[in-house]
Amino acid sequence: MFSDPVTRSLEWSRKGYMGMALLLMINERSMTGYEIMQVMRDITQGSWKPTPGGVYPVLKKLEKEGLVKGEWLSYKGRKKKVYEITESGKRVLERVILKQSEIAFGINRLFENFLRDLFGLEHPLVTPPSLLKILLPDYEEFDELEDLEERKEMIQEIIRCLQKLLEETEAKINELKNSRTGTGYSRSTF
């Protein structure tokens, strides 16, 4: 289908990211499948033009997995299905975003190694993952109060997600510690 390896790999990555992209968009606001396709085209400036055959099967799968909920509504005499994210979908999305940030960080290291080997650069400049860019902004870019307030809200949401992740991690650590002490396992016996 695609003879160019770059085009082929981009198509594979788009298919792999479709579910996450849909969750991200529906998390922003409830949307129909048609609206999703339009917004995705606009956001990517036309570089990603999803088709109904690419979007609706993924929406159906997300709905079956309980990550989104679709509801049929009447609008000007026509029915349309509007999708919204569920609480389960939000939890999955939080974990996916954190995992994607880890992957992006790892890919950056690969790029840095490649640039170091190719050009002999000691400290190549590779753009940090977007999560780090949010946390370490260049305030010279902001000249509008609304932009800074939006950035602040985004950082606060990241902090809430990280706090929740920290609490879950601490709970798992305590659970593992309790299971070890509850079974008679003790480090002092070694």
Which residue ranges make up each domain of the chain?
5-85, 91-180
Residue range 88-97, pLDDT digits in tens: 999 888 888 8
What is the sign of the dihedral through the CA atoms of 150, 156, 162 and 165?
negative
For residue 121, the one-letter residue type is: L
The arithmetic mean of pLDDT across residues 28-33, rounded, is: 95
Tens of pLDDT along 116-157? 777 666 665 555 444 455 555 566 666 677 777 877 877 777
Listed in order, strand segments (DSSP E) in 18-125 are 31-32, 68-75, 78-85
Q: Give per-residue pLDDT as tens, 45-69.
A: 888 888 999 899 999 999 999 999 9
CATH assignment of 5-85, given 2.60.40.1930, 1.10.10.10, 1.10.1060.10, 3.60.15.10?
A: 1.10.10.10
Residue with tokens 């849909």: 22
The more confidently predicted of residues 185 and 23 is: 23
Both structure tokens of 113: 């190694």
